[in-house]
Structure 1
Amino acid sequence: MVEPRVEEIAEKGESFVALTASQAARLQDLRFCRVSPTADPGIWRVTDVTRIGVVAIDDVRLIVRPKTPLRSLIFMASYSGLQAEVDDASFAFEADQDLPAALASALIKGVGEATSRGLIKGYVSIEETGTVIRGRWDIARQLKVRPGIPVPVELTYDDYTEDVPENRIIKAALRALVRLEQLPRRVVDKLGPLLGLFSETSDLHATGPVMLPAETRLNAHYQPALRLARWILEATSWAHTEGASSGSAFLLNVAKVYEDFVGRVLQATLHPEGFDVDLQVSDWRLDTEGKIRMRPDIVISQHGRVVAVADTKYKVWGESDGSPPNADVYQALAYAVTAGVREVHLLYVSGDVEPRRYEIAATGTTVVAHALDVSGEPEELVTRVKRLRATLVPAMALPPDVGVDR
């Protein structure tokens, strides 16, 4: 078997890769980057990368390297808000340099910890047809399916079973990894035994984004594994809908991982203080007729009033003395005007850059740009987001006339 030729693509900036015209067209069709020809025949420029991971096209293996350290990325992907402690044992995958292998190794470890006491169980509503009454006789369904015929009987009952959404999601992610062509054998060999644990669990049937079950005391130990499973399913299913063959692509939207992590840390930090933190609010409209939709990433409220709005930007900012991109500032202003708040915050990915304030005289609004460093130990990542509380929400109690009802 011929070893694939490996080409690397940087998440930031531009990369030059050797491809045939057909391969370049197929890469462009995946719609996560811009592919353009250069003056050199067979060499293509790749820019505007929006996802990271691995793509296999014929005999070429394209690896998109993240600008975020893998260690930090895996932690952000698994963060549930219920993790009281973070220990280095969670990062036994660090020998894996590719994102798919790192996520797979982290999921294997997470599933092992989640199922160490057995699979989670719960009550599931079951509909079945039988000759012996069990549970409740569903008369409406009986009349619809077989009007006037008393036997067999349409029944509905609750069963205490392992066939619950939590197990279905994890099983689906494990199966997606088994089909992935990019994983090393030592990782694949660990997936089979884990899948065997879920033999009594039915397959997940989801046509859209995977919605995780609400976090409860009973499923808290499943949360890190569930969150990794969701990102794995997103990375595999998205690529396939864009035309990649099954198992040939693994492309993760790191911007969503970053947004989700920041939002959940703020939820865990501010909720005990009496604040509500809503993520990806979808019912905002800029115009009076409601035609211009807005979807702010993070909306912080108290007593039903909006007190702060923030938008995460998976962009490096602060490397020079330049201001944030104009489009980001315009978007922030629209959020501030709609919410009726005096400040709105842009949360960029970058290194140690002090927050910068931009006062907009015409609207009386201040746009505050922050740069969050996502390198270092997991505890450091959480602490840096928690520190945003001081600027996002004033320490003093809010008077009744601050903010706007939503």
Structure 2
Amino acid sequence: MTGAVPEVSLREYGPVVSVPLSTEAGLALASSGVLQSAAPDPGRSGHWLLRAGSRVGAVRTPGGPVLRIMPKTPVSRLFFLLGFSLDPARAWRDSREGTIDTCAYDDVVPALAHAVERQIDGALRQGVLQGYREVDETALVVRGRLREAEQIRRHFGRTPPVEITYDAYTADTAENRILRAATERLLRLPGVPGTVRRRLAHQRVRLADAQPLIRGQELPRWQPSRLNSRYQPALRLAEAVLRGTSPEHRPTGPDPLTVDGFLLDMNKLFEDFVTVALREAVRERGLTARLQDPHHLDIAGLARIRPDLVVRTGDGRTPLAVVDAKYKVEKADGLHNADLYQALAYATVLGLREAHLVYAAGRRSEHFHEVRGTAAGPEGLGVRLYRHSLDLSREPGQLLAALRAIGGRLATGSRLP
């Protein structure tokens, strides 16, 4: 009887851990980008020194243990950030804990599997959504429209058979394909509890009429509408699952080795949460905001910059404030001077009086640096670089209130003369 697969627990940005690994598994991890570092342990033969970075979740190494990377942020709070990033309108209405139901699991993969299964169950409660899909096929009778070019190319004008295209009313829709793919992906992940696995298998049966997705291809596109409104929360979460288990976690090379699992990048998650929340906050004040707004630092257009968020006037033409989100601890001792230089570059290019940095933690909720040599205007004020700190341990409502307050600060931004 085959023994259970060994497991190794790491902590997000935690200490280095010496783990017994084959050379194959170690090389796969080192080239995958899953961890901050992976290198042979010089003091112990057959061991590798592993240190987790910003990615949390679980991965299965080839011929090695399952690595579980635990987040510093409580899992329930992590899924609030994810839920808000995916569906801010819903989270603005209900900022209580549990926007995504994680059933109090304290590990990312079990919580994710439970949440996805519950969302899919809710989506299918009124039945499997059906829709019209264009079908091309070879048939003995004419149905729909004749594909003349295909008929001539394949059959030299002879009939039957005939090459036809028609609209079929079917459950094989983009929405159902995505839900089925996410269900099957979760069933292959390590660490999904047995009860949740059985419920996921039941949902897969309900979605059996949807065709499986071909691995490596882009996800099918769907458009939000009144007809699929009950599916939308499940679809957004299912797409997050499929992105988090995508081939980006695979090592490259002539003979790549699979590192299989689900990972959330906390850097990206924090950035998405902050920028989406601030975008919604300034919209309430009649302003617009662009995420990942591209610009050039130099006149020749060789040095590109891409601020996380640029707040603009209601018509979208004039920049008023710029924001960059940093998933790290804001410090008062100058160790993050590079962040200030980056913020100053953004303000200079956009012609703004102020730029804002939002950190995941810090000593003070807000303070600023006034830049030397930039005083201008009747008030004699120069460019100000604001540093804001969020406390991710706070309740969701408090987090959103803090971001609304920052949004109010952004709305008062102005341009240099």
> What does 1:292-371 align with in structure 2 at a 5 Å threshold?
292-302=303-313, 303-305=315-317, 306-318=319-331, 321-323=332-334, 325-350=336-361, 353-362=364-373, 364-371=382-389
From the superposition, tell whether residues 359 and 184 of structure 1 become closer, same or farther in structure 2 (CA, over 3 Å). same
Q: Percent identity?
A: 32
Moved more, 211-220 or 372-381: 211-220
Residue 57 of structure 2 is aligned to residue 53 of structure 1: yes
| Matches of 2:177 and 2:416, distance apart in 1 | 42
Deviation at 1:233, TM superposition (A): 1.3
CA contact (8 A) 1:239 1:251 kept: no
Residues of 1 paired with 2:412 and 2:50: CA distance?
44
| Equivalent residue runs for 1:96-135 within 5 Å | 96-130=105-139, 134-135=143-144
1:16 aligns to 2:34 (yes or no): no
Going from structure 1 to structure 2, the CA distance change for 1:151 and 1:61 (only over 3 Å counts) comes to closer
CA contact (8 A) 1:77 1:261 kept: yes
d(CA) in 2 for partners of 1:48, 1:287? 36
Q: For residue 213 of structure 1, report the CA deviation from its aligned partner.
A: 4.0
| 1:41 aligns to 2:44 (yes or no) | yes
C-alpha change, 1:330 and 1:87, in structure 2 (3 Å) is closer
Asked if 1:277 corresponds to 2:289, the answer is yes
**Which stretch of structure 1 is more off in the superposition, 384-393 or 85-94?**
85-94
Question: How many residues matched?
Answer: 395
Larger mean Cα displacement after TM superposition, 155-164 or 371-380: 155-164
State how far apart, in whole Å, the 1-side matches of 2:399 and 2:223 are: 24
Q: Cα distance, 1:206 vs. partner?
A: 7.0
Deviation of 1:244 (Å): 5.1
1:194 Cα deviation from its structure 2 partner: 0.6
1:276, CA displacement in angstroms?
2.4
Max Rg structure: 2
1:280-311 alpha-carbon deviations (Å, 9 max, x no partner): 23x42223333322222222222122222212
- SS in structure 2 opposite 1:341? coil
Which residue identity does 1:372 align to in structure 2? L
1:146 CA drift (Å): 6.3
**Alignment gaps of 5+ in structure 2:** 375-381
CA contact 1:14–1:45 (8 Å) conserved in 2: no
Aligned-partner SS, 2:110 = helix
Query: TM-score of the superposition, structure 2-length normalised?
Result: 0.81
| Cα distance per residue 1:348-384 (max 9 Å; x no partner) | 1126632121222345532222112222433333333
Superposed CA RMSD in Å reads 3.3
Q: Which moved more, 1:333-342 or 1:36-45?
A: 36-45
Q: Within 5 A, what are the aligned runs for 1:4-403?
A: 4-20=5-21, 22=23, 23-32=25-34, 33-36=36-39, 40-41=43-44, 44-47=48-51, 49-57=53-61, 58-79=63-84, 80-83=87-90, 84-86=93-95, 92-130=101-139, 134-137=143-146, 154-205=163-214, 207=216, 213-238=222-247, 240-242=249-251, 243=256, 245=258, 248-281=260-293, 283-302=294-313, 303-305=315-317, 306-318=319-331, 321-323=332-334, 325-350=336-361, 353-362=364-373, 364-394=382-412, 402=415
CA deviations on 1:229-275 (whole Å, 9 max, x unpaired) are 222212222465225536x4322212222222223323333335432
**TM-score, normalisation: structure 1:** 0.83
Give 1:339 shift: 2.2
Choose 164-173 or 260-269, whichever is displaced more.
260-269
User: Counterpart of 2:325 in structure 1: which amino acid?
Assistant: T
CA offsets, 1:118-170, max 9 Å, x none? 23344434444556555455556666766766765554444444333322222
Q: Is the 8 A contact 2:28 2:258 kept in 1?
A: no
Q: Which runs of 5+ in 1 are unaligned?
A: none
